Amino acid sequence: MDKKLTVELISVGTEILMGNIINTNAAFLAEECVKLGLSCYYQDVVGDNRQRLTATLKMAIDRSDIVILGGGLGPTQDDLTKEVAAECMGCELVMDEESKAAIAEYFEKIGKTPTDNNWKQAMMPVGCTVMPNHNGTAPGCIITKNDKHVILLPGPPEELKLMFKESVEPYLRSIMPGIIYSKTVKICGIGESKAETMIRDLIDAQTNPTIATYAKTGEVHIRVSALAEDEQSAKKLTKPIVKELKERFDNSIYTTEEDVTLEQSVVDLIIGNELTVGTVESCTGGLLAARLINVPGVSDAFKQGFITYSNKAKRKLVGVKKSTLEKYGAVSKQTAMEMAAGLASVAKCDIAVATTGIAGPDGGTAEKPVGLVYIACSVCGRVTVKEHHFSGDRQKIRNNTVTAALNLMRQSLLEYFSEKTFGKK
């Protein structure tokens, strides 16, 4: 096995330098590259400035095998990544007819007329591999010379991510000296510190496969990656570790599949058992339904969603009792349960999930502080309710609530199925 290839990430853009946006692209690319078995020693951020971009790129090409640039492929004069990359790799830019046609088609589709600027995006370095952009207008490209690989991606995250998955990942796999195989064990309902403590011994003992934990909103992903000469050998190396993780985390694991999200795993349970679902949301205000509905194919199962931000809406739409609201308040175990039960009856859905909480920044009291959230889930008539105390800002509290609601749905469904099976015996 040869030494590991190194990758360097250069983010091009004044918005990152000025702190207008957080550099999520670099985190995404780093994680993906590590997954593929590359070593990342440097990340750089530089603005749309010819001299500084040239200096940074030259240094990166000198010290790393692969350089991935994100950003600066837009249609404006500021965007010079392609020009600079072509110059650093010693090649000219020429009009790429296929890219030109794709841009024309894109504009026709959105019913707008391209400006002269837009055609600049079809100019490509001679001899490069052009990567189509299926989420925007700027194509990307890969320039290879003297065992150095310079990869240009557009800056908008949804364009960069899709192009990486569609075009860069297969390319990187093709130049890797070995095969890396990774398996991600995705966990919900256990914090990162606790998860790490539970596998400290495995992390300390790691060599090949390697074990890394990644904290996501309300989730922890543990990635087990092995490098070997072929996929089968790499797979074999990961197996005992994955088995050990499954034993330790049991049904806190919602999937070990790379592409399966928490909402996908919940929707799979619902559709696979021919059940229907509905949502009634107060503090999450539609975010939970939006996460569920982001799963393609959910349309048959999703019956109705309500956003009942006011007490009046809670009463009118899902029949929460006035006395419950008066006695316990809108943010209470009782209200959450009545919301879920009421929704199940109004929408005639098998699974009814309800959220109510104080997302802040105002509205908290000593008794009911910001971050207090109740989530109720009714599965075929049986309601479970959970109390949570989340920290962070409004957005973070709401996102954590959505993740916790999905997890409660999953746990309630699993419990329901296991009892049903048990009852049948």
Q: Hey, which residues between 377 and 416 contact a second copy (CB under 8 A)?
A: 389-396, 398
x/- track of binding to a second copy for residues 30-69 (CB under 8 A): xxxxx-----xxxxxxxx-x--x---x-------------
Instruction: Report the residue number, 173 or 382, with the smaller CB distance to a second copy.
Output: 173
What CA–CA distance (Å, rounded) separates 328 from 48? 57
What CA–CA distance (Å, rounded) separates 282 from 312? 12
Considering only 86-94, 102-110, 235-243, 262-270, which stretch makes contact with a second copy by CB under 8 A? 102-110
Q: Which residue in this structure is represented by tokens 């400035």? A: 49
Sign of torsion, CA 107 113 115 119? positive
What CA–CA distance (Å, rounded) separates 388 from 375? 8
Q: Report the phi/psi class of residue 153: left, alpha or beta, with left for phi > 0 and alpha for psi in -120 to 50.
A: beta
DSSP secondary structure of 378-422: EETTEEEEEEEE--S-HHHHHHHHHHHHHHHHHHHHHHHHHHHHH
Q: Which of residues 79-98 bind a second copy (CB under 8 A)?
A: none
In whole angstroms, how close is the CB of 14 to a second copy at the nearest point? 6
Instruction: Report the residue number, 368 or 396, with the smaller CB distance to a second copy.
Output: 396
Interface pick for a second copy out of 1, 2, 3, 18 (rule CB under 8 A): 18
In whole angstroms, how close is the CB of 295 to a second copy at the nearest point? 9
Told to check if 148 binds a second copy by CB under 8 A, we report no
Q: Which of residues 125-144 bind a second copy (CB under 8 A)?
A: 134-136
Interface pick for a second copy out of 5, 29, 168, 188 (rule CB under 8 A): 29
Residue 408 and residue 377 in contact, taking contact as beta carbons nearer than 8 Å: yes
Told to check if 256 binds a second copy by CB under 8 A, we report no
What CA–CA distance (Å, rounded) separates 413 from 271? 12
In whole angstroms, how close is the CB of 228 to a second copy at the nearest point? 19
Q: Which of residues 185-204 bind a second copy (CB under 8 A)?
A: 191-194, 196-197, 203
Residue 33 and residue 172 in contact, taking contact as beta carbons nearer than 8 Å: yes
In whole angstroms, how close is the CB of 127 to a second copy at the nearest point? 28
Told to check if 281 binds a second copy by CB under 8 A, we report yes
Instruction: Report the residue number, 92 or 393, with the smaller CB distance to a second copy.
Output: 393
Considering only 16-24, 142-150, 336-344, 377-385, which stretch makes contact with a second copy by CB under 8 A? 16-24
Torsion from C-alpha of 344, 345, 348, 349, nearest 10 degrees: 10
Interface pick for a second copy out of 271, 290, 380, 414 (rule CB under 8 A): 290
Told to check if 22 binds a second copy by CB under 8 A, we report yes
Interface pick for a second copy out of 269, 289, 331, 340 (rule CB under 8 A): 289
DSSP assignment letter at 165 = I
Q: Which of residues 322-361 bind a second copy (CB under 8 A)?
A: 360-361
Q: Inter-axis angle of helices 333-347 and 311-318, to 10 degrees? A: 40
Number of residues interacting with a second copy: please give it, by CB under 8 A.
Answer: 105
Q: Which amino acid is at 192?
A: E
What CA–CA distance (Å, rounded) separates 94 from 37? 34
In whole angstroms, how close is the CB of 186 to a second copy at the nearest point? 12
